[in-house]
């Protein structure tokens, strides 16, 4: 992929936005995992744990990129990503049960394992946005993960102050899912022939996810207010 092309920057921007929106939660885990350590070891745990998390997530994402080349899995991945985009809008995440490590190695292990488990949605979203490019996966992660870790507080404050950021992120995920579905090998020729149907699919999925998420949040807010 040519680094001077519009496609390169579009894919890279999609990966970075996806990581920033989905991984803010993971940054909290990193902080919580190191909270019981002596102050001099907290920074070590965060740095080493983050490096380990980047390596693990890169490997997982590259595996998923390879798996998405298997016929049918791009369609399945796109459908799963629609659900992830919807859950981003409606789910409230908590970390009350998050355990911190009592030793440096325990904290590092907790950070790596927790990030790998919580980052599965990120892995699928980034793999879908990368269009099969291993280089784009690694480049996107190298840029976005450090931003998330060291800028997590700022990112979370922005999301709380400007809730529209979540909707933008969910829209990007929904759009990525529609592109994955349209690029499924046994569907690709159909969508290329009838391009207007592809555009309609993208519009329906993006607006459908945003509308369903908005309605669910309103319903939850009403139920909370009446209880």
- pLDDT by residue (tens digit) across 2-60? 666 777 888 778 777 777 666 655 666 666 666 667 777 777 777 777 778 778 877 88
Average pLDDT over residues 89-108: 64
pLDDT of the residue at 210 = 93
Residue 206 pLDDT greater than 90, yes or no: yes
Average pLDDT over residues 64-83: 83
d(CA 99, CA 38): 16
pLDDT of the residue at 221 = 76
135 to 43, 59, 71, 199, 213: CA distances (angstroms): 29, 12, 22, 28, 33
* Confidence at 200, pLDDT banded by 50, 70, 90: very high
Residue 201 pLDDT greater than 90, yes or no: yes
pLDDT mean across residues, the chain: 77
Average pLDDT over residues 101-105: 69
Q: Which residue has the higher pLDDT, 227 or 9?
A: 9
d(CA 44, CA 104): 8
pLDDT of the residue at 212 = 93
């Amino acid at each position: 992929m040519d680094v001077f092309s519009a496609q390169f920057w579009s894919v890279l921007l999609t990966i970075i936005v996806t990581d920033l929106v989905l991984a803010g939660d993971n940054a909290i885990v990193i902080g919580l995992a190191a909270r019981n350590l002596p102050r001099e070891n907290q920074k070590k745990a965060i740095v080493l744990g983050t490096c380990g998390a980047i390596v693990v997530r890169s490997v997982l994402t590259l595996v998923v990129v390879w798996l998405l080349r298997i016929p049918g899995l791009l369609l399945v991945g796109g459908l799963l990503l629609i659900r992830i985009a919807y859950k981003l809008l409606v789910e409230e995440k908590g970390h009350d049960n998050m355990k911190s490590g009592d030793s440096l190695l325990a904290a590092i292990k907790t950070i790596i394992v927790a990030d790998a488990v919580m980052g599965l949605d990120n892995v699928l979203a980034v793999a879908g946005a990368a269009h099969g490019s291993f280089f784009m996966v690694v480049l996107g992660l190298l840029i976005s993960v450090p931003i998330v870790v060291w800028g997590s507080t700022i990112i979370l404050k922005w999301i709380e102050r400007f809730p529209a950021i979540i909707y933008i992120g969910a829209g990007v995920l929904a759009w990525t899912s529609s592109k994955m579905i349209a690029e499924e090998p046994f569907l690709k020729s159909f969508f290329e022939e009838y391009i207007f149907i592809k555009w309609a699919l993208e519009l329906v999925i993006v607006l459908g996810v945003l509308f369903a998420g908005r309605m669910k949040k309103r319903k939850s807010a009403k139920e909370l207010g009446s209880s």
